């Protein structure tokens, strides 16, 4: 079913963003799945810009660097991420038909749903519900230009891609434990340049979106507010977090415009979910992940804002990237938040479970 892959071959995970490359390989042990090789290396400048691969050879060279620093990678087979900015996720309802007919029906139905011509994207789909006379599908699409450039970079790095997976799928697989698959969960992935929102209903991704409000914007706001260099601002952010004060002014005050922008995006998604079917169980958990999620006090701040505006009962907490693996003592959980997506990719590589 397309470029996103469905082969039962063991592989490692590779997560490539505008600012870094992460790799993880999992191994089966007596205590469960554990990381056997991993690394997180900053991406060199002028390799990826605005989620577009600028130089395939340079990206391949950067991939080789992160692989060399990860430890012993036992295979050249890889499951690689496709960023949310380069992907589209839609839910489609079709008349009941044979699976062999779905490939022809999906492009026609999706044509009005995405901003690119159908012949310029790769499509994949999975049946999420089969009724008496309807099929509910999760459909994923990504621009051919991006995917082709990524595959070429992987080949230049002497890797064999067995699957290309959307970040949202990998992130959900990493964070949502088997016991929570029937819950309705909103994942907020706070990266360096953008924050992604992943709405998961009973184990099925229903909606994804992203906004350019994330770690870098927070650092820049601190630098402007306190007239300090970016390096000093980053240290303030990573130190005491929102409770830190400079000259009697808390970081919370300096970051309020950006934080409230995130709150507003979360409220929109909660409203979308409620308005779609007020009778269904609502979102009861918001999981935070990504490197910026470790900002001290962030989950409490978001919880106070969300529950004041939308009613009590929504739990806001840091996600656990080891929800479906054994805890890794070499990576503290707060640091592991930055490895969430690549952990999900590595899980796909060793279990072949789609999400």
Looking at the predicted structure, is the pLDDT value of residue 311 above 60? Answer: no
Percent of the chain whose pLDDT exceeds 70: 94
- For 62-73, write each residue's pLDDT tens digit: 999 999 999 999
Looking at the predicted structure, is the pLDDT value of residue 281 above 50? Answer: yes
CA proximity to 2, closest of 136, 116, 106, 93:
106
Average pLDDT score over residue span 252-274: 92
Average pLDDT score over residue span 164-170: 93
Task: Write phi, then psi, for 240 (nearest 5 degrees).
Answer: -80, -5
- For 218-256, write each residue's pLDDT tens digit: 999 999 989 999 999 999 888 878 877 777 788 898 899
What's the confidence (pLDDT) of residue 239? 83
Average pLDDT score over residue span 153-176: 95
Give yes or no for a contact between 340 and 288, defined as CB atoms under 8 angstroms apart. no
What's the confidence (pLDDT) of residue 4? 55
Lowest mean pLDDT among 20-29, 214-223, 231-240, 326-335: 326-335
User: What is the pLDDT confidence band of residue 309, given thresholds at 50, 70 and 90?
Assistant: low
Average pLDDT score over residue span 169-189: 94
Task: Write phi, then psi, for 268 (nearest 5 degrees).
Answer: -60, -40
What's the confidence (pLDDT) of residue 31? 84
Average pLDDT score over residue span 90-108: 90
Looking at the predicted structure, is the pLDDT value of residue 157 above 70? Answer: yes
Higher pLDDT pick, 5 / 101: 101
Give yes or no for a contact between 19 and 192, defined as CB atoms under 8 angstroms apart. yes
User: What is the pLDDT confidence band of residue 102, given thresholds at 50, 70 and 90?
Assistant: very high
Average pLDDT score over residue span 33-62: 92
Looking at the predicted structure, is the pLDDT value of residue 110 above 80? Answer: yes
Tell me the domains of the chain and their CATH numbers. 12-83+145-177+321-351 (3.30.420.40), 195-318 (3.30.420.40)
């Amino acid at each position: 079913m397309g470029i996103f892959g469905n082969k039962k071959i063991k592989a490692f995970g590779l997560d490539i963003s505008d600012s870094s490359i992460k790799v993880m390989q999992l191994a089966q042990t007596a205590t469960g799945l554990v990381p056997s090789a991993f690394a997180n290396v900053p991406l060199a400048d002028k390799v990826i810009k605005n989620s577009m691969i600028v130089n395939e050879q340079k990206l391949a060279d950067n991939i080789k660097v992160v692989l060399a620093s990860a430890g012993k990678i036992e295979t050249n087979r890889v499951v690689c991420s496709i960023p949310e900015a380069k992907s589209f996720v839609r839910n489609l309802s079709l008349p009941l038909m044979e699976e062999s007919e779905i490939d022809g029906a999906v492009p026609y139905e999706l044509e009005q749903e995405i901003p690119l011509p159908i012949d310029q994207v790769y499509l994949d789909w999975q049946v999420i519900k089969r009724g008496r006379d309807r099929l509910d599908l999760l459909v994923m699409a990504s621009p051919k230009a991006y995917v082709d450039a990524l595959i070429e970079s992987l080949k230049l790095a002497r890797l064999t891609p067995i699957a290309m997976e959307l970040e949202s799928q990998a992130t959900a697989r990493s964070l949502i434990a088997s016991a929570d698959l029937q819950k309705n969960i909103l994942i907020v992935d706070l990266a360096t340049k953008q924050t992604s929102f992943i709405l998961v209903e009973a184990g099925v991704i229903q909606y994804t979106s992203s906004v350019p409000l994330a770690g870098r914007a927070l650092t820049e706001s601190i630098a402007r507010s306190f007239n300090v260099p970016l390096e000093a601002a980053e240290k303030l952010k990573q130190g005491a977090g929102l409770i830190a004060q400079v000259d009697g002014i808390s970081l919370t005050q300096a970051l309020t415009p950006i934080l409230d922008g995130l709150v507003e995006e979360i409220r929109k998604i909660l409203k979308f979910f409620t308005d779609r079917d007020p009778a269904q169980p609502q979102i009861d958990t918001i999981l935070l992940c990504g490197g910026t999620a470790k900002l001290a006090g962030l989950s409490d701040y978001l919880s106070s804002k969300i529950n004041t505006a939308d009613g009590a009962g929504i739990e806001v907490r840091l996600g656990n990237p080891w929800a479906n693996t054994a805890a890794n003592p070499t990576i503290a959980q707060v640091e592991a938040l930055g490895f969430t997506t690549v952990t999900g990719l590595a899980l796909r590589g060793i279990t072949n479970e789609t999400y």
